[in-house]
Amino acid sequence: MRNRVSNGRHVAIVCAILAFFSVLGIALVKIQIIDGSEYAAAASAVSSSVSPVASSRGDIVDCNGRLLVTNSARRDVIINASYFPPASDTQGRNTILLSLINLFDKNSVEWINNLPLVKSGSSVVFKKDEEAMISRLKSKEILNLNEYATAQNCFDALKSEFGLEEYGVDDALKLAAVYFEMKRTYFSSASAYTFAKEVPEEIIAYIKENSSFYKGVDVQIQAVRSYTDGTVAPHILGMTGPIDAEEYASLKKSGYKMNDITGKSGIESLMESYLKGVDGEKTVVTDAQGVKHSEITKPAQKGNTVVMTVDGALQKVAQNALKDALLDYYNKSNGMVPPAGAVVALSCKDSSILACATYPTYDASTYNDDYEKLSQNPSAPLWNRALLSTYATGSTAKPSVAVAALEEEMIDENYTVYCNGTYEFMGQRFKCEQAHERAFVDVVEAIDESCNTFFMKVGNLIGIEKMNEYRVMFGLGSKTGCELKESTGVLDSPEYRASLGQAWLPGYVVQSAIGQAGNLFTPIQLANYVGTIANGGTRYKTHFIKSVKSADNSKTLFEYEPEVACQTGISQETFDIVKRGMLEVGTTGYCRKYFESLPVKVACKTGTSQEIRQINGYSRKINNGFLIAFAPYEEPEIAIAAVGEGMTSGVFIAPVIAAIVDYYCGRSDESRSVEVRNALIP
């Protein structure tokens, strides 16, 4: 028994020893053979640094998945601090930088120079209109000078700090510009400095051929925003741009670098957190012999894909039709008002915005080059009229008055008003501009023939409070809830007038009933208003964003759920009567000739209003034309509102509605898909 126990112990000890040496052997094989090169590099490493690898922004696509905004490659010349001479070697740095500057200047290639100093005669002065950069130059982070420091004080400080005393003024200013930009953008191993953007191939080749001299100078392929068609929805898509000092103060907490690009307006700004990618990392290791080895240790991740509700091809149709209608009217009428207007088309089912166009407009792909000209254009092409302009919308307000009177049972469809061309109220005489087939006008005829007398009398019957109660239900005079900046507008009332220190006059009631007085609404409000009538009384919040997908389209990160802003509770009978009147306008009235060839019936309402505008230094009374519509009449899908500034009637903007309805309702899904492809892919 004792021998058996002893033998068992010997066996256990032998097994333990064998297991130990087996594990040790495996570890040695892994260290020396499998991971040998890594451990050798680590053993010989003197230092290592980590620098970011820039990610690219996510794409923006339309509701059909067609690209609207993506990225293209741009070659920038950068300086990587991990390979560049250290700050203590000012001579080494200056030699490389001056050679680089001369290379670009010799080939007439622009490099980044934001230094607000310039040579004037034998002295150095501040550049004009560069207050922000001058303040930045004097700031604690750059030169730490007093506010009253002169340009020469700043220049002297730059020469002293960066060892530029031996250079002439011209060369010293150029070198100082580089160092200013380095400090301004927080140049370090974690943040490369961009010397020049969009560099030609011959310059790139020369730098690479002389890489042993240009230590730290490298070429970086930078993803920059590009557009399938820069003219499609630029006011909606928005722009990107470099981060300024104020933005960086807050954005750096979220991992942004000073030389990053961020959304500045529109969808680019709204969806920044989704569109921004995640930077990767590159580790640079310096061994004992001074040789540097680099490796991508964390791949960059592209930003997510934002899917919009806008149909890119329909947007193009709307833009072209709007432009054509405005220019055609302007040329034929010898108008004194520069052609301008807007159109909004949205879904009756959930108020998703299908098209949103403004004229005049611009090309996003040339925005930076054209900005000065665009910003000084008196026609304001950068202004988004569809969301931000407010107008007195004339007779387009009449359907809301009809709804209120019918629903409150103050009238019915058989109620008539005698119209002899004028309406008298409290000693004032108001004109009806229309000639009616019958002297006694009912509500359907009043909508069709736009009878001022009918709506003035009815408006006076129901009063301003009840009239506005229904307009509030329709969202007139309030924001529609879309994700982008929009104007509130004005719903005229005694309370509003009191807020301005004005008295509410009795005549304002009848003027409000025909869309005058102080009411001011936006085109997008009008589109949502007519969409609410079309769908039977449910007003939704408008929206531009459909969903957000991961870059590889494998995940849905966000899906928009339709949001009801108001259930009006208005009866279907009331809407049916009002919609019949609007159908008459589209099928037998003034707009008939524009809509009769369409594949579906269009219900609509025209409107005209007046405003006083300064033109060539003089106050002029001008007209604006409006048209609201929905289609198909039997089962409404799309609601549209359009405005033409300077037009004497909304009828003249009808070709825009016709083009949109023709595209949206007149093509099969297959042919529509082909048109999308043809419209958006060059």
Residue type, 374: L
Contact between residue 609 and residue 516 where contact means Cβ atoms under 8 Å apart: yes
Q: Which residues pair with 666 in a beta bridge?
A: none
- C-alpha pair distances (Å), 136 with each of 185, 194, 655, 675: 11, 18, 53, 51
- C-alpha pair distances (Å), 23 with each of 26, 39, 389, 558: 5, 19, 77, 50
Residue 9 has pLDDT above 90, yes or no: no
Residue 31 has pLDDT above 60, yes or no: no
pLDDT of residue 32: 52
Q: Could you tell me the two tokens for 286?
A: 């310096």
**DSSP code, position 287:** E
Contact between residue 190 and residue 52 where contact means Cβ atoms under 8 Å apart: yes
Tell if the pTM clears 0.85, that is, is over it: no
Query: Domain boundaries in the chain?
Result: 312-680
The region, left, alpha or beta by phi > 0 then psi within -120 to 50, assigned to residue 434 is: beta
Q: What DSSP element (H or E) covers 525?
A: helix 523-535
How many angstroms separate the CA atoms of 429 and 433, rounded?
Answer: 13
Strand residue runs (E) in 509-652: 538-540, 545-549, 556-559, 564-567, 603-615, 618-631, 638-645
How many angstroms separate the CA atoms of 41 and 56, rounded?
Answer: 31
User: Confidence class of residue 589 from pLDDT cuts 50, 70 and 90?
Assistant: confident
Q: Which residue has the higher pLDDT, 672 or 99?
A: 99
Residue 682 has pLDDT above 70, yes or no: no
Average pLDDT over residues 600-604: 97
Residue 615 has pLDDT above 90, yes or no: no
Average pLDDT over residues 276-301: 76
Average pLDDT over residues 565-588: 97
Q: What DSSP element (H or E) covers 162?
A: helix 151-162
Q: Output the CATH code of domain 312-680.
A: 3.40.710.10
How many angstroms separate the CA atoms of 507 and 500, rounded?
Answer: 18
Q: What is the DSSP string of 612-676?
A: EEEETTEEEEEEEEEEEEEE-SSS--EEEEEEEET-S-GGGGHHHHHHHHHHHHSS-HHHHHHHH
Neighbouring residues of 199: CB distance < 8 A, sequence distance ≥ 6: 75, 76, 77, 109, 219
Contact between residue 236 and residue 346 where contact means Cβ atoms under 8 Å apart: no
